[in-house]
Structure 1
């Protein structure tokens, strides 16, 4: 099976950008194992692989820290095995994903690591790979809890020979009860120090969010509340956010979303600016 997704967006100058979010070939070995090859959404964490499509995400944007070049890995280029099975009849289920692929690249400027580009890169400048995955447990029919991790070596584009330790850790949960949905996630990416580098210090990016949503009036309307907190390696990019949303669902895969984001940043940067958003989403 072939899967792919293109992302189209507008840049700050009014132009358009087109990017390949993922493109994979999937092969089902059996009911418990599927092999995936290509550029795939990162299985580390829950939001990126399960919630990021606009017609699934209940707000117009990702939680703070879960966007591109932030705390959560976006995608990988490599191989993945994923699936699930029952541990105890119909009462206890486990799902899993394990991968190996090209690692992220560090963005260095003015003697500091400014960002980590954790997208599926077609090049591997340092010749090293990153491996990891996620394990999810469903102890109840409507509750899932997950743990994620990844390890490897990374470097900057200008210093591919200067390798640093790289690790990721994440934890998440999701709960559904009638019309009420609760979910939350914590994610952290860290890179070690390298004394010979232009940017010798270690770096850390971490973020978490908690979200609740409730459908009412024949499940046509949906209210959403989300808090997210992003702590980056650059203080001006840190952000705490309360997001309030109201959605109208034409169908499960088609909705109109309105949201207001109350943002806070201690440095008074653009990350401190509040904003209002409207979005129409359709999935097919």
Structure 2
């Protein structure tokens, strides 16, 4: 099941994508897709609906973050061996965790706003894990039982803010629009093995990233379990799981950075594609 929210920012309606690629309106069935709706019993209730009985949304509306109610946006750094190598950083012995501000969240095709004083704007296609059930100290063998679904994420980054102004990665990861999520929340009945997903990202139509979640250093089950030992994961929390090689920082012979006017396209098998245009901060 592919759940989504569509419409103007702040006024999104609930919907789902049917097998023919049509957006179906859920607003007469549920008020909103939010953290409460991600509980297994509520997802099961939506799954029992017959999509053909729901109205088709005939326009091509803006898509928002696929659900509301994100309390935490947890990120994992250097989780692919070859990305650690291109970043000239050692392979971590344990997951590297940082937080992306929830104010960075935006729709999958919204503009990326280059912040004031930004000089090293970068891209990162990543698999997102969406929690559906409260998780505390969960064993790895049971960890995926706490997952509602998965989504495509662009972990937009400002490398000067992240790496050259102290040790706190958060400042380079949490700017407004640095967290495009979606287009869909794809439930676990469709993604039975999150460690077999191909992923890609292009800039202005040129190949940049190609990878597969099978090359993660720490897999999804390990990450959910590990993080749940340090913080309680609540329904709606997102874990973005790291990126494969091909980021701007690692380009040879010199890094390549995003600039206003660039277009970033990206996607993950079964989870849908994104498209963002880079724009300057107003008045920059």
Q: What TM-score results when the alignment is normalised by the length of structure 2?
A: 0.26
Q: What TM-score results when the alignment is normalised by the length of structure 1?
A: 0.26
**Larger CA Rg, structure 1 vs 2:** 1
